[in-house]
């Protein structure tokens, strides 16, 4: 509940909510920024706060242009459509969000084919992907038009992709006429954890979708970055998909506030995740950003028992639980969650 007028972490009633960093609620200061936003009709491109956000994010990622979209899913799917024609193929990791959690959108909406490689826990291997690329101009084959990468990797437990692999893949893609799309829903976490500038990650992709509504704590909003020609086409796709928004500067203002105040503090979320891992006996080297994956536990039973004690966790599979730290979970919350989960997991294991 937000009873206090500060920009600090908030508590959700009494619960510590570790299900996802999408669950953050706008802080009082963010709400003030939203209330004060200058707005206009963004479909007419007359919303100054949105225009400024698009310019800002394009520059941050070293691209010519950007488009504010309602969700990471829309950013990803429009991004893929920009670099892949119907009947062509997107190649990605079998656990990629764009192919796992986006309801088959690339096929359902755009007629894009997809093919996957099974990676080691989400970690990008340029060679592994390159080996699977199918060339254009062969009438037997489905041409690979784009490769999708994800940084940080969600199902990989928030892992940061190795810069050398990203560089190798991108350099190769220039010679092969294949495009690279970055699902950068949590690229801000990747940058804070690795020290690699956002612009470096941005320049290693032809299209990138980045989310303001994950760790940065905005209530809604992602931004797609690319060159000016592609963003002009993306604007049409967004409208076609019903994503043309009107006085949406109120949301862009939340995004500006998030970039101003919530970027550097992601390091605190990462620290909290490491602390949680330590307390739970999870190998700390598996924790690179704001996620902790707990394996070999009865996930539904853990989730239910923890919930009864005011700790909410995500269930990735029957035997895997995911804990995500974020703006709304402070150090006390982390300690409390660690205590509850240690006890719950211990009880369920019978000791």
Q: Which spans of this chain sit near ligand TLP (rule: CB under 6 A)?
A: 20, 22, 71-73, 76, 97, 101, 150, 154, 183, 185, 211, 213, 222
For strand 314-317 and strand 320-324, is the pairing parallel, antiparallel, or unpaired?
Answer: antiparallel
- Is the CB of residue 187 less than 8 Å from the CB of residue 198? yes
State residue 283 phi and psi, 5-degree precision. Answer: -55, 115
Q: Give min distance, CB of 186 to ligand TLP, in A.
A: 6
- Is the CB of residue 73 less than 8 Å from the CB of residue 102? yes
Q: Give min distance, CB of 347 to ligand TLP, in A.
A: 27
283: left (phi over 0), alpha (psi -120 to 50) or beta: beta
Q: Give min distance, CB of 250 to ligand TLP, in A.
A: 18
- Identify the CA nearest to 197 among candidates 64, 55, 62: 62
Alpha-carbon torsion (57, 60, 61, 64), positive or negative: positive
Nearer to ligand TLP, 143 or 157 (CB): 157
Distance, C-alpha 161 to centroid of its chain: 13
Q: Give min distance, CB of 314 to ligand TLP, in A.
A: 7
Nearer to ligand TLP, 11 or 20 (CB): 20
Nearer to ligand TLP, 173 or 222 (CB): 222
Nearer to ligand TLP, 101 or 172 (CB): 101
For strand 179-184 and strand 207-211, is the pairing parallel, antiparallel, or unpaired?
Answer: parallel
Shortest-Cβ-distance residue relative to ligand TLP: 72
Q: Give min distance, CB of 246 to ligand TLP, in A.
A: 20
Nearer to ligand TLP, 72 or 249 (CB): 72
């Amino acid at each position: 509940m937000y009873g206090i007028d500060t920009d600090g972490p908030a508590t959700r009633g009494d619960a510590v909510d570790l299900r996802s960093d999408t669950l953050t609620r706008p802080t009082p200061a963010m709400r003030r920024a939203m209330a004060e936003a200058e707005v206009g009709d963004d479909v007419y491109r007359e919303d100054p706060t949105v225009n400024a956000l698009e310019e800002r994010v394009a520059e941050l990622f070293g691209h010519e242009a950007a488009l504010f979209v309602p969700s990471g899913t829309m950013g990803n799917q429009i991004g893929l459509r920009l670099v892949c024609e119907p009947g062509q193929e997107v190649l990605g990791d079998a656990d990629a969000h764009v192919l796992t959690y986006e309801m088959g959108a690339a096929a359902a909406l755009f007629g894009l084919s997809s093919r996957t490689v099974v990676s080691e826990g989400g970690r990008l291997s340029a060679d592994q992907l390159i080996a699977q690329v199918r060339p254009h101009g062969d009438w037997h084959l489905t041409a690979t038009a784009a490769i999708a990468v994800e940084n940080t990797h969600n199902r990989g437990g928030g892992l940061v992709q190795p810069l050398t692999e990203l560089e190798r893949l991108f350099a190769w893609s220039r010679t092969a006429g294949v495009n690279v799309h970055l699902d950068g829903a949590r690229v801000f976490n990747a940058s804070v954890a690795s020290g690699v500038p956002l612009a470096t990650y941005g320049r290693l992709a032809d299209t990138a979708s980045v989310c303001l509504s994950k760790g940065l704590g905005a209530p809604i909003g992602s931004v797609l970055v690319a060159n000016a020609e592609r963003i002009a086409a993306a604007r049409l796709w967004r409208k076609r998909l019903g994503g043309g928004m009107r006085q949406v500067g109120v949301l862009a203002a939340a995004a500006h506030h998030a970039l101003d105040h919530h970027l550097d503090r992601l390091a605190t979320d990462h620290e909290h995740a490491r602390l949680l891992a330590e307390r739970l006996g999870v190998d700390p080297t598996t924790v690179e950003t704001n996620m902790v994956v707990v394996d070999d536990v009865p996930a539904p039973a853990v989730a239910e028992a923890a919930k009864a004690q005011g700790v909410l966790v995500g269930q990735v599979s029957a035997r895997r639980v995911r804990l995500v730290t974020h703006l709304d979970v402070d150090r006390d919350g982390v300690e409390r969650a660690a205590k509850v989960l240690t006890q719950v997991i211990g009880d369920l294991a019978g000791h």
